[in-house]
Amino acid sequence: MKRIEATITPSDLDTFKSVAGELGIAEFDIIEVYRSSTTATAGRHRLYRGREFVADLAPRLKLEFVVFDDDVQTTLHQLSELVHPESIAVFQLDQTHRLAAEQLADTPPSGCTTNQQPAEMAMREIIGMFARNGSKRSR
């Protein structure tokens, strides 16, 4: 599987959402980012702690989603034609683990009570794995 990151303008988000299903993208993350430009652009004058500055950063959206290896070339081609992203990055995923909150609540780690939050139980499980596999300690 591959993870794809594409940077688009906010105005292209509706287009992406409408074609995401056609591209085989079931889930995606949207992150608001700001891009600085080396060209002189007229920015907005802002105040921060009593000092004026020019905000010349352009708002952008970074989309992150995962596709199968066989679908990468087709997805990239269609994405570039339909949405016109400013940048695209493709990363190899070696292994993915995603535990749902229900799975964590159903199988509490050893030594944990069931009234703990799922995130706390997951942290105890991770810490326990390091303690078992880590350096040997004398007790």
Q: What torsion do the CA atoms of 11, 15, 16, 19 make, to the nearest 10 degrees?
A: 180
The verdict on pTM exceeding 0.75 is no
| Residue limits of CATH 3.30.70.120 in the chain | 2-92
Q: What is the pLDDT of residue 110?
A: 54
47: helix, strand or coil: strand
Whole-number Å distance between alpha carbons of 91 and 136 = 36
Q: What is the pLDDT of residue 22?
A: 86
- CATH code matching the domain that covers 2-92, chosen among 3.20.20.70, 1.10.287.620, 3.30.70.120, 3.40.640.10: 3.30.70.120
Mean pLDDT, 10 residues at a time, the chain of 139 residues: 92 92 89 75 68 77 92 91 91 69 56 56 62 48
Whole-number Å distance between alpha carbons of 80 and 86 = 9
Which residues have CB under 8 Å from 5's CB, separation 6+?
A: 62, 63, 64, 87, 88, 89, 91
Q: What is the pLDDT of residue 126?
A: 62
DSSP 49-68: TTEEEEE-PEEEEEEEEEE-
Q: What is the pLDDT of residue 115?
A: 52
